Structure 1
Amino acid sequence: MKCPYCNSVMRLGTIQADNLLSWTPDGESPKGATRWAKSPNSIVLAKYFMLAPAVIDAFYCPDCQKIIINVDNTK
């Protein structure tokens, strides 16, 4: 994949977390007392399953240090 910022070749890799991996809008905080809590407007990027971590593919540009993630909320 070509980087949309600098046109360099991006490297495919993964981002993972021990529980829920989500993006939260600025100014909001997770609602709830558990480590799986999220704000109402959060976008879930990946969910944990049983004992496996939450994992999502991501492209990284080593030149401009940007990461691009395709969000798929259907999983």
Structure 2
Amino acid sequence: MKNKLGDLNNHLFAALERLSDEDMTAEQIEQEAKRASAIVAVADTIISNADTQLKAAKLWAEHGQQIMPMLPQIGRAET
């Protein structure tokens, strides 16, 4: 997948622009609001995942290889 967090920003701003379109009917606004809610829900999950990855990277930077026994899911699988 080639999407980046910057792409997420673009999608969020595009949703905001669609919501601010003054030519939309009440039905179109309602439909767009539902769509925006779905986009936000997915965005929240993406941001949470990125935050978890950042925390793991910080732990690795601070503690190096010695952190791996406590966090095997971010490194090699144990056999």
Note whether the superposition's TM-score is higher than 0.5.
Answer: no
Higher relative contact order (CA 8 A, sep 6+): 1
* Superposition TM-score, scaled by structure 1 size: 0.22
Task: From the two aligned structures, give the one with the greater helix fraction.
Answer: 2
Task: From the two aligned structures, give the one with the greater strand fraction.
Answer: 1
* Superposition TM-score, scaled by structure 2 size: 0.21
